[in-house]
Amino acid sequence: MIIKPMIRSNICINAHPVGCAKETERQIDYARSQKAKRGIKTPAEGGKGPKTVLVLGCSTGYGLGSRIVAAFEYGAATLGVSFEKEPSEKRGGTPGWYNNKEFDKEAGKAGLKFETMNADAFSDECRQAVIAKAKEWGSKFDLVVYSLASPVRTDPDTKTLYKSVLKPVGKPYSGASLDMMTGKISSMTAEPAVGDDIANTVKVMGGEDWERWIKQLSEAGVLAQGCRTVAYSYIGPQLSHAIYRDGTIGAAKKDLEARAHNIDDALKAIGGAAYVSENKGLITRSSSVIPIITLYLAVLFKVMKAKGTHEGCIEQMERLFAERLFTAADNGAGQVPTDNEGRIRIDDWELDPAVQAEVDKIMPAVTEENLGELVDLAGVRHDFLTINGFDVPGVDYDKDVTDLTSIEA
């Protein structure tokens, strides 16, 4: 069959196997090029960077980028966990399934140690499987990346299913929404949180599960001396705070940041540390449906590309590893620069006052007629499509795909 993107309201509901694999390959190539450029040493080359890395939420976005950098730039053994829909010959799987398959293929060719688990990372059964694998390897994790994003989570103790929502708090929020495929701008309104919306969202996307992971890994004795753990968050510009930072998702992110201090205290016993990295805004499956965010990102990309500071997932994660987490001699775990709340600010280029001033100047002037001049519509559209394996250079999208379990062209 010929696979074309199926898009509904800024959501792509299918994936191209070859495109997903090709985009993952591009990110791997980038990590390898940065290894050469920065002179990063693997353990076999005398490097003191991460040796065994657990990535929770390894299949897309920042999680995938983190795993690629750890493996292909630093030479680490990686154990990745994500929950994917597997394809059949005639029925497609999730983008993450294809990304993981390409990672596994390339890691095997490179002689790297790896394991990819298709499992619910919110479950204690998954935690026990990860612990068992670490013991089978005879290894301990010196870096744990927490990059889970899900609309639902089942509490392992009560078996209660919680659902997260993206809503403002206190009053409705209205903002312009950019349809990335048509270039149409419309107004979108989100109604405020009611009842248990905030508490439920914190249960799903807050730090409770992260804390549970570190506790069980620690009790099982599979965390190395000096182990670090990092989770990912987003602050964003003032214009989005009402829907994001000060909304239900923001409440969850603040819980994540608060629990980082608890985890940090617990890891001190083994000389470890916990961090939240505040990352740059990017087009993702979730950000694409948030009022104002797509338009903001289209303007932001335009401004940052003109300044030469724009980054995608892989570029951002590579800089996080090389310039924040592993800065000591021979790429060892050096002193981590943080803000006064202990957070890593890899969003520094996005929130540069000069960048934000220019974005603030452009945003009110944007219309459908001047999109081509004022925003990077092609850039956000490309990023949106590549998440699902479309618009990837080097892929023949007119070629018949006969087996949806294969990532070979």
Give catalytic residue positions: 244
Provide φ and ψ at 58, rounded to 5°: -90, -5
Residue 60 CB contacts under 8 Å (≥ 6 apart), including other chains: 82, 95, 96, 99, 285, 387
Report d(CA 306, CA 181) in Å as an integer: 23
Helix/strand/coil (H/E/C) assignment for every residue in the chain: CCCCCCEECCEECCCCHHHHHHHHHHHHHHHHHHHHHHCCCCHHHCCCCCCEEEEECCCCHHHHHHHHHHHHHCCCEEEEEECCCCCCCCCCCCHHHHHHHHHHHHHHHCCCCEEEEECCCCCHHHHHHHHHHHHHHCCCEEEEEECCCCCEEECCCCCCEEECCCCCCCCCEEEEEECCCCCCEEEEEECCCCCCHHHHHHHHHCCHHHHHHHHHHHHCCCEEEEEEEEEEECCCCHHHCCCCCCCHHHHHHHHHHHHHHHHHHHHHHHCCEEEEEECCCCCCCCHHHCCCHHHHHHHHHHHHHHHCCCCCHHHHHHHHHHHHHCCCHHHCCCCCCCCCCCCEECCCCCCCHHHHHHHHHHHHHCCCCCHHHHCCHHHHHHHHHHCCCCCCCCCCCCCCCCCCCCCCC
Task: Yes or no: say if 237 and 285 are a contact pair by the CB < 8 Å rule.
Answer: no
Residue found under tokens 């016993």: 269
**Distances, alpha carbon 260 to alpha carbons 93, 156, 179, 342, 373, in Å:** 34, 20, 36, 9, 42
